[in-house]
A and B are shown apart, each in its own frame.
Chain A
Amino acid sequence: AQSVTQPDIHITVSEGASLELRCNYSYGATPYLFWYVQSPGQGLQLLLKYFSGDTLVQGIKGFEAEFKRSQSSFNLRKPSVHWSDAAEYFCAVGRNTDKLIFGTGTRLQVFP
């Protein structure tokens, strides 16, 4: 069955610390992979996506993610977290940009 797992429901980090949000997927073929961020009162915003090519993907707001086929993972990283990064983060997979399967999300809290 196709699924996305985000093992960490809630993560708390200090401002300036590094961040890694985990995402594992189960999919029949090489999927399209996405990371979205959801802030209160705002729509989901795309941080980055992977379709093919270089497995290390750079996104907006200083985020990056690495596709590891052998581990079926697409973890999101940021070297130095800012207080404004506090939000809900969703990993998603699909055969293209349609019919996305979302993970349950990771809530990031940032302490000053």
Chain B
Amino acid sequence: GAVVSQHPSWVICKSGTSVKIECRSLDFQATTMFWYRQFPKQSLMLMATSNEGSKATYEQGVEKDKFLINHASLTLSTLTVTSAHPEDSSFYICSAEGVSGGRAFRDEQYFGPGTRLTVT
């Protein structure tokens, strides 16, 4: 159990366009989802935390108008990179924690495989 998927796995877009990344919990209800950004040979940096039905909480330095996060259901969160520029090129990873059938999946974060974004 506790599988998280991301779509797409990689995307190339032109500068100035927007791109949406989906994060789904496949077999549990994700009450909380997290979005990370990972630069090459660097650590994962938490961008924001979202709870289902609430506005996301962004980390310091993350532009909320540029990185729009929607967590409208217990199985889906989306990250939209608006007006993307080459410096937004990165590896974006989501994770989730929650419940399923009464069992809590809150003792760890379950990570998706990531989405490679390249902005040309």
On A, residues with C-beta under 8 Å from B are: 4, 9, 34, 36, 41-46, 49, 90, 97-100, 102-105
Residues from chain A with Cβ under 8 Å of B41 in the complex: 9, 104-105
A90-B43, A105-B43 known; A100 vs B109 contact (CB < 8 Å): yes
Residues from chain B with Cβ under 8 Å of A49 in the complex: 107-108
Q: Chain B nearest CB: distance from A25 CB in Å?
A: 13
A interface footprint on B76-115 (CB within 8 Å = 1, 0 otherwise): 0000000000000000010101000000001111111110
Judge whether A102 and B44 touch: CB under 8 Å.
yes
Q: Is B54 close to A, CB under 8 A?
A: no
Q: Is B68 close to A, CB under 8 A?
A: no
Give CA–CA (A91, B89) in the complex, Å: 24
Q: What are some 22 contacts across the A-B interface (CB < 8 A)? A: A4-B43, A41-B113, A43-B4, A43-B93, A43-B95, A44-B95, A44-B111, A46-B108, A49-B108, A90-B44, A97-B106, A97-B108, A98-B34, A99-B46, A100-B44, A100-B46, A100-B109, A102-B45, A103-B43, A104-B41, A104-B43, A105-B42
Number of B residues, CB within 8 Å of A: 23
B interface majority secondary structure: strand
Judge whether A98 and B42 touch: CB under 8 Å.
no
Give CA–CA (A105, B43) in the complex, Å: 6
Chain B residue nearest to A4 in the complex (CB): B43
Q: Chain B nearest CB: distance from A90 CB in Å?
A: 7
Give CA–CA (A46, B45) in the complex, Å: 17
Chain B residue nearest to A91 in the complex (CB): B43
Give CA–CA (A64, B113) in the complex, Å: 24
